Structure 1
Amino acid sequence: MVAQQTLSDGSRAGHVEPRADRRRLPQPLPLTLDGLFTSTAGKFPMARAVQEGQHHLFYGEAENRAVQLASALVRGGVQLGDPVIVHCADHRQAVVAQLAVLKAGGVCVPLPSALRGARLDRITEISGARVVLCSTVTRPVWSYRLMSWVLDDPATWSTIAAERPDRSLPRSGHTEAAYLLVSDADRQGVSGYLTDHRAWQQTLAARIRRVGGAHDGVIVHHPPVRTTTLPAMWWAFACGGTLHVPSRYGGATCSPAPKRNAAAVFGLDEYARLLQSLSGASHPDSRRLTVLIGGPCPRTVIDRHFEVLPRAPLWVEFAPADGAMPWTIQEFSPGKPGPEYPGASRPLPGVHVQVVAPDGSPVPTGQTGEVRATGSSLPYAGIRSADGACLAGDTAPLLASGRLGRWRHDGTLEFCDPSTVPSSAARPRNP
Structure 2
Amino acid sequence: MFGDCTRRLDALAARWNTTRTHVALAVVLVTLSRQTADGAAHVGTGGGRSLRLAFPPGLPLREAADRVARHLPGAPGPLTVVTPNPESDLPERIEVEVAPGADGGLALRGTCAPRQMDRLVHALRHPYGPGGTVRDVPVACPADEADLRTWEHAPAPMPATTLDRAFARIARAHPERVAVRLPDAPGTPPPTRRLTYGRAEAEASLLASALVRSGVQLGEPVIVECENPARAAIDLLAVLRAGAVCVPVGRASPERARQVAGLSGARWALCAPRSRAVWERHCRLPADPEGAPARDEPAVEGCLPRSDFTETAFLLVEDGPGLPVRARLSAHTAWTSAIAARIERIGRASTGVVAGGDPSSPAGLSAMWWAFACGATLRWLGSSDPLTVPRDTGAGPPDALFPPEGYGRLLDALDPDGCGEGIGAVVLTGAPCDGDLVKRHFARSPGTRLLAEFSGDRGPLPWTARELTPADAECRLLPNAGRPSDNVRLRVLDESGRSLPPGLIGEVCADGGALPYELLLRDGAMARSLTGHDLRSGRLGQLRADGSLELTGELPLG
TM superposition score normalised by structure 2: 0.65
SS, match of residue 354 in structure 1: strand
2:521 paired with 1:384? yes
Name the counterpart of 1:215: 350
Task: Supply the AA of the counterpart residue of 2:411.
Answer: L
Alpha-carbon distance, 1:234 to partner: 1.1
Identity over aligned pairs, percent: 37
**Contact 2:430 2:458 survives alignment (8 Å):** no
Instruction: After superposition, give the CA deviation of every residue in 1:206-242 in whole Å (9 maximum; x if it has no partner).
Output: 1100111011110002132221111111111111100
2:334 paired with 1:235? no
Alpha-carbon distance, 1:362 to partner: 2.1
Name the counterpart of 1:15: none
**Contact 1:328 1:347 survives alignment (8 Å):** yes
**Contact 1:183 1:322 survives alignment (8 Å):** no
> Distance in 2 between the 1:210 and 1:116 partners?
39
Name the counterpart of 2:509: 372
Name the counterpart of 1:341: 477
> Distance in 2 between the 1:169 and 1:99 partners?
12
SS, match of residue 291 in structure 2: helix
Alpha-carbon distance, 1:390 to partner: 5.5
> Distance in 2 between the 1:288 and 1:306 partners?
13
Number of aligned positions between the proteins:
392
Task: Supply the AA of the counterpart residue of 1:134.
Answer: C
**Contact 1:38 1:63 survives alignment (8 Å):** yes
Task: Supply the AA of the counterpart residue of 2:264.
Answer: S
Task: Supply the AA of the counterpart residue of 1:371.
Answer: V
Name the counterpart of 1:356: 493
Alpha-carbon distance, 1:412 to partner: 1.8
Within 5 A, what are the aligned runs for 1:237-252?
237-248=372-383, 252=387
Within 5 A, what are the aligned runs for 1:230-309?
230-248=365-383, 252-255=387-390, 259-278=395-414, 283-284=419-420, 286-309=422-445
> Distance in 2 between the 1:160 and 1:226 partners?
34
Alpha-carbon distance, 1:277 to partner: 3.4
Output the aligned Cα RMSD: 2.8
> Distance in 1 between the 2:322 and 2:522 partners?
10
- In structure 2, the CA distance between the partners of 1:366 and 1:373, relative to structure 1 (3 Å rule), is same
TM superposition score normalised by structure 1: 0.83
> Distance in 2 between the 1:410 and 1:281 partners?
40
Name the counterpart of 1:70: 208
> Distance in 1 between the 2:306 and 2:544 partners?
45
SS, match of residue 93 in structure 1: helix
Task: Supply the AA of the counterpart residue of 2:401.
Answer: V
Task: In structure 2, list runs of 5 or more residues that go unmatched.
Answer: 1-153, 185-192
2:224 paired with 1:86? yes
Name the counterpart of 2:538: 402
Question: What stretches of structure 1 move > 4 A for 4+ residues in a row?
Answer: 24-28, 159-163, 185-190, 254-259, 278-282, 334-340
**Contact 1:221 1:249 survives alignment (8 Å):** no
2:301 paired with 1:166? yes
Larger Rg: 2
> Distance in 2 between the 1:298 and 1:271 partners?
12
> Distance in 2 between the 1:283 and 1:240 partners?
23
Alpha-carbon distance, 1:308 to partner: 1.9
> Distance in 2 between the 1:75 and 1:409 partners?
56
**Contact 1:299 1:342 survives alignment (8 Å):** yes
**Contact 1:380 1:392 survives alignment (8 Å):** no
Alpha-carbon distance, 1:410 to partner: 3.3
> Distance in 2 between the 1:186 and 1:357 partners?
27
Name the counterpart of 2:127: none
**Greater helix share, 1 or 2?**
2
Instruction: After superposition, give the CA deviation of every residue in 1:337-377 in whole Å (9 maximum; x if it has no partner).
Output: 67553122111110000111111122232222110001010
Task: Supply the AA of the counterpart residue of 1:208.
Answer: I
**Contact 1:183 1:321 survives alignment (8 Å):** no
> Distance in 2 between the 1:279 and 1:59 partners?
31
Q: Which moved more, 1:283-292 or 1:172-181?
A: 283-292
> Distance in 2 between the 1:68 and 1:249 partners?
34
- In structure 2, the CA distance between the partners of 1:327 and 1:120, relative to structure 1 (3 Å rule), is same
Instruction: After superposition, give the CA deviation of every residue in 1:93-149 in whole Å (9 maximum; x if it has no partner).
Output: 100000000000000000123x32422222111100111111134333224222235
- In structure 2, the CA distance between the partners of 1:26 and 1:274, relative to structure 1 (3 Å rule), is closer
SS, match of residue 218 in structure 1: strand
Q: Which moved more, 1:301-310 or 1:241-250?
A: 241-250
Bigger relative contact order, structure 1 or 2 (CA pairs below 8 A, ≥6 apart): 1
SS, match of residue 338 in structure 2: helix
**Contact 1:88 1:133 survives alignment (8 Å):** no
187, 197, 205: which one pairs with 2:332?
Answer: 197
> Distance in 2 between the 1:256 and 1:281 partners?
12
- In structure 2, the CA distance between the partners of 1:75 and 1:186, relative to structure 1 (3 Å rule), is farther
Name the counterpart of 1:50: 180
Name the counterpart of 1:8: none
Q: Which moved more, 1:215-224 or 1:313-322?
A: 313-322
101, 106, 112: which one pairs with 2:244?
Answer: 106
SS, match of residue 323 in structure 1: coil
Task: In structure 1, list runs of 5 or more residues that go unmatched.
Answer: 1-23, 424-431
**Contact 2:399 2:424 survives alignment (8 Å):** yes
Name the counterpart of 1:138: 275
